[in-house]
Amino acid sequence: MHVKKVAAALGACAVVASGLVFGSGSVTADPGCPSLYVVAIPGTWETGHDKKPQPGMLAGVTNGLPRSVDVDYVSYAATAFPWEGDVYGASKKEATDTARGLVGAMGQRCGGTKIAIVGYSQGADAAGDLAAEIGTGLGVVPADRISGVGLISDPRRSPTDVQVGPVAAGAGAGGPRVGGFGWLSDRTRTICATDDLYCATASDDFVTRFAGFLAQTSDANPANIWRYQLEAGAIMNDLMARGGVPLLQSQLTDSANQQRAKDLEGFYKSQAHTLYGNYKVGGGQTATSWMHNWIASMA
């Protein structure tokens, strides 16, 4: 397997395949082209402008893939807070744009090569957004070029996404993607630890849901105002159905904020978000080993 170093300036985040043919099917890769091309997007703080591209959590997914597979890791800001430089929305956009450029370039260069997209944490956020573009016909390659999309701890996980392993409650803190994955829904797999708050936010935790929405829109694109309105409307509709403003106010009291701080401290101490290399999903496999085997089966 060949893993190339990719500069951040590049670019214009229902089954384990036992006999199932994905995407481009039996098309043979052109001479000099890989049978499968994997674009991998690391999570927050796993890469950056001043760091060499590093696999991070996804090392367990991409290491040891068949020799006919090429992997590119996306390098991007990978920041979360304004004082780090890019706000979350700008950082994720950079990851999505770079990954889009890589997918488009391979799609043009190697017509018979199958493509997979994988991401972890903020990288799963970006990978999922790119997959949603392609799956709804707005991408740089047709949906049938994509063999699979693997998302680990996706902050935009929807309850309707196909989950591997124990089923996590709620949804991602950033809220589900409007329109989902379209034609890629049957080729997208998500893994979320049941106690990972990034991808398993309770549906009645409106403070976290609003905070997640603000993070997603922290680098707002005017062209996506309609989408932001739909996403904000979904949160408001849920809030009104569950008790309205009084419920939100009850979640913002001093005692509620103190309890939230304790819960967050417990979450960070549990390292639930960083233990996917050991998180069991069944069949003796962990989240990363399952994803590795699934991607390898596409080559």
83 vs 170 pLDDT, higher one: 170
Sign of CA dihedral 41, 42, 44, 45: negative
**Would you state the pLDDT for residue 21?**
30
Long-range pairs of 266-269 with CB within 8 A, sequence gap ≥ 24: 267/195, 267/197
Is the Cβ–Cβ distance between 41 and 119 less than 8 Å? yes
**Would you state the pLDDT for residue 210?**
81
Residue-range domain boundaries for the chain: 2-202+272-296
Count other C-beta atoms under 10 Å from residue 27's C-beta. 14
Its pTM stands at 0.81
Is the Cβ–Cβ distance between 19 and 238 less than 8 Å? no
**Would you state the pLDDT for residue 30?**
78
Long-range pairs of 207-214 with CB within 8 A, sequence gap ≥ 24: 207/248, 207/251, 207/252, 207/260, 208/173, 209/173, 209/175, 209/235, 210/235, 211/173, 212/155, 212/172, 212/173, 212/174, 212/175, 213/174, 213/175
Q: Is the pLDDT assigned to residue 8 strictly greater than 80?
A: no
The per-residue pLDDT of the chain, averaged, comes to 85
Q: Is the pLDDT assigned to residue 267 strictly greater than 80?
A: no
Mean per-residue pLDDT, 210-232? 81
CA–CA gap between residue 214 and residue 219 (Å, rounded): 9
CA–CA gap between residue 157 and residue 172 (Å, rounded): 5
Q: What is the pLDDT of residues 270-295, one digit of tens each?
A: 788 999 999 999 999 999 999 999 99
**Would you state the pLDDT for residue 82?**
52
Mean per-residue pLDDT, 123-135? 97
Q: Hey, is 151 helix, strand or coil?
A: strand
Count other C-beta atoms under 10 Å from residue 59's C-beta. 18
H/E segment holding residue 103 = helix 88-109
**Would you state the pLDDT for residue 73?**
95
Q: Percentage of the chain with pLDDT > 90?
A: 56
- Name the burial class of residue 96, with classes exposed (0-12), middle (13-18) and buried (19+) by CB atoms within 10 angstroms of its CB: buried
Residues pairing with 115 in the sheet: 37, 146
Report CA-CA distances (Å) from 56 to 59, 164, 189, 225, 278: 6, 21, 19, 34, 14
Q: Percentage of the chain with pLDDT > 70?
A: 87
Mean per-residue pLDDT, 3-18? 33
Q: What is the pLDDT of residues 150-191, one digit of tens each?
A: 999 999 999 999 999 999 999 999 999 989 999 999 999 999
Q: Got the DSSP string for 71-97?
A: EEEPP-----SGGGSS-HHHHHHHHHH
Mean per-residue pLDDT, 21-46? 75
- Which residue type does 185 have? S
**Would you state the pLDDT for residue 190?**
98
Q: At residue 24, what are phi and psi to the nearest 5 degrees?
A: -80, 5
Least confident of 82-91, 211-220, 247-256: 82-91
Mean per-residue pLDDT, 93-104? 96
State in words which class domain 2-202+272-296 has: alpha beta
CA–CA gap between residue 15 and residue 13 (Å, rounded): 22
**Would you state the pLDDT for residue 28?**
62
Look-up of token digits 């998500």 = 190
Q: Is the pLDDT assigned to residue 38 strictly greater than 80?
A: yes
**Would you state the pLDDT for residue 95?**
95
Is the Cβ–Cβ distance between 83 and 77 less than 8 Å? no
Q: Is the pLDDT assigned to residue 9 strictly greater than 50?
A: no
Q: How confident is the model at residue 52 (pLDDT cuts 50, 70, 90)?
A: low
